[in-house]
Amino acid sequence: MAFVSTALNFTAHPRLLKYQIYPSASSKVLLLSSAPAFLIADRRRRWIVAEASPTRDEEVVVVEKKGVGEWGKVSAVLFDMDGVLCNSEGAAGMAAVDVFAEIGVEVEAEDFMPFVGTGDANFLGSVARLKGVEEFDTATAKKRFYEIYINKYAKPNSGIGFPGALELVMECKRRGLKVAVASSADRVKVNANLAAAGFDPSIFDAIVPADGLKRLKPAPDIFLKASKDLNAPAHECIVIEDAFAGVQAAKAAGMRCIAVMTSLSEDKVKQANPSLIRKEIGDISIQDILNDEEIKEEKPSKYLCNGVRSGVSKLPNGR
């Protein structure tokens, strides 16, 4: 027994989206009510309500209408560097091991992984504190770290760019999106990495390193500065990150984040709760970034899952 499709238009409210109900034989969601079925969700997917429509088997699916999406407008893409554009996190760990070896302290590259993305001073200083290194001069250690890293691990055109990274950057530009590098590393390391990966810095509309910023990731400052430099509203920016701190920074900036699993396990990445997860940058498509309904086929909303209840009395925050 079929039922009539019903569209609910909440687009007058800036935080609500428009959905339509379709009967379907696949991807059904069982709803436990006899009221008309619909879905409401805010742009950050934090509030979902559904009511059921009576059919013979009391099952319906909710599909996003073409041209209307919870992803929203995208104007810019902010790329982290280490672990996203460049396969450099392992090399950075080895350079850090070399720094500590010079002062007679034995460490392993894995010791530095919890501090990936938090800035190179913290990257080195945190391990020094954990190892009980006394009178550790972070500034001197960071300078030596950059010398070793650049001269030994990141020589120009050494091929440290991830496959597909340049192609994705150029596709974003072709689509009219602004692109930026937003890294917790200092400018000297950013420049070295781009040269090692074979990137022409001029393809980026902005490059925002850690120099001059008082707060680094997980604080949002780097991404907010990139947003300002690009003249793109924060909520129209997509961040691509590999580090837990980086995902936190993107969310703190009010930006959507696609996380790659180049530095962290899938479970750890999921704990950061990014908007989307991919294995590495080569697995990210322009459809993932734009959520373009003209390119991407319609599919049932995967967010219609928990807490299905009947009866909606008011919107979130009493609205």
- Please identify every residue annotated as catalytic: 80, 82
Contacts 24+ apart (CB under 8 A), 100-105: 100/127, 100/128, 100/131, 100/133, 102/144, 103/133, 105/131, 105/133
Q: Are 8 and 38 in contact (CB under 8 A)?
A: yes
Could you tell me which of 81, 132, 131, 141 has the C-alpha nearest to residue 263?
81
Residue in the structure block whose two tokens are 């459809």: 287
Distance spanning both ends of the chain, measured CA to CA: 36
DSSP class of 210: S
| Length reported for the chain | 319
- The alpha carbons of the chain give a radius of gyration, in whole angstroms, of 23
* Cα-based angle 121, 122, 123 (whole degrees, multiple of 5): 90
Could you tell me which of 236, 224, 155, 227 has the C-alpha nearest to residue 192?
155
DSSP class of 149: I
Could you tell me which of 229, 274, 275 has the C-alpha nearest to residue 78?
229
